[in-house]
Amino acid sequence: MINSVLFVCTGNTCRSVMAEYLLKHHAEKKGISLRVSSAGVGAFSGDSANKHAVDVLAELGIDAGEHRSSLVNPYLLEEFDLVLAMTESHKYQLLQAAPHLKERVHLLKAMAKTIENVQELDEEIEKSYNVSDPFGQSIEIYRQSRDEINSAVKKVLQNIIVGGKR
């Protein structure tokens, strides 16, 4: 279970700040308790968030005006279950500093795409691996159901004959 997330970019004034505050916002709206923070591989600790980052978050009702940047370090990385980097370069730098944490460090967009792919696969499995129920529908739907079942039955039989050598 993931209870804490750290976002990492370069200066911890733009991208990682927006990611931190957006995730906090969405988690709070869903009633999810999650520790979220951000840091930068080249941050000057104590810098304010970039004005544009603060402004675009404010457009969504999110206040990031009090944010102060932090420099990432191996000890900070240890504190988080999941570390999401903005670029491959950031990820590389994090893994150079803490190679033993490679299972925790990912690219933000790569993780999002992986989750999307898994969800699409789940939906595809739901659609393609369940035999549709034609009850109460037209004769054409019954034909589609018959063809769907026929195709699967032939494959199962082929496996029984070839696989079981009967």
Q: Of the residues 133, 143, 147, 166, which is catalytic?
A: 133
* 9 catalytically annotated: yes
Answer whether residue 12 shows pLDDT above 70.
yes
* 15 catalytically annotated: yes
Q: What angle do CA 38, 33, 71 make, to 5 degrees?
A: 15
- 3-state SS class at 81: coil
Q: In which band, very low, low, confident or very high, does the pLDDT at 79 lie, cut at 50, 70 and 90? A: very high
Answer whether residue 33 shows pLDDT above 90.
yes
Q: Of the residues 15, 81, 104, 122, which is catalytic?
A: 15
Q: What percent of the chain has pLDDT over 90?
A: 77
Q: In which band, very low, low, confident or very high, does the pLDDT at 49 lie, cut at 50, 70 and 90? A: very high
Q: In which band, very low, low, confident or very high, does the pLDDT at 59 lie, cut at 50, 70 and 90? A: very high
Give every CB contact of residue 80 below 8 A, 6+ residues apart in sequence. 4, 5, 6, 35, 37, 104
Q: Of the residues 9, 35, 122, 146, which is catalytic?
A: 9
Helices first, then strands: H and E counts in the chain: 7, 4
Domain ranges of the chain: 4-113, 130-164
* 55 catalytically annotated: no
- The third-level CATH classification (topology) of the domain covering 4-113 is Rossmann fold (3.40.50)
